[in-house]
Amino acid sequence: MRGIIHPGKYSLSAGQVVNLLGGMRTIAVAAPAPNGDPLVGPMDGWFLHGKFFFSSSDDAIRIRGLRRRPRASIAYFEGERFLLNAHGHAELMYAGHPDVGEIDAIFRDHYGSSAFDWSGRGGLRAARR
């Protein structure tokens, strides 16, 4: 990769990444199914404080798989000119989690309600380690 990546020419600074990822973005989330099979699908996502946040139903197959093996990969594509990948630990966040207030406010602003109001739907944070 170092042979094709030239800082400043084919890469972005941290500030440029933050500007590009502002607001809701459709991200591809790869997470394990309960049996360990890989699953990939599009989800609404937010990039905040160096982490991606997304939500899904508490009984969704991805969430059930993440309970057993909390690892996820995320990809964001901006046409053919930009790709961002993140891989790491996924942390399930439920109402009352100490870090949920800020992302829940973003969900309320975007959707008009809390993710926790959606019949068992809970926020999920994929944190890079």
Q: Is residue 79 part of a domain?
A: yes
Residue (of 55, 30, 33) closest to 41 by Cα position: 30
Does residue 8 sit within a domain? no
Number of domains in the chain: 1
Give mean pLDDT, residues 33-56. Answer: 90
pLDDT tens digits along 24-36: 999 999 999 989 8
46 strand-pairing partners: 53
Instruction: Domain of residue 83: give its range.
Output: 14-124
- Please list, in sequence order, all residues whose beta carbon lies within 8 angstroms of the beta carbon of residue 78, skipping any fewer than 6 positions away: 20
Reduce the DSSP state of residue 32 to 3 states and report it.
strand
pTM for the full predicted model: 0.78
- Tell me the percentage of the chain whose pLDDT exceeds 70: 84
Q: Is residue 27 part of a domain?
A: yes
- Angstrom distances, CA of residue 46 to CA of 2, 9, 13, 34, 88: 28, 26, 18, 25, 16
Please indicate, yes or no, if residue 97 is contained in any of the structural domains. Answer: yes
Which domain CATH number covers 34?
Answer: 2.30.110.10
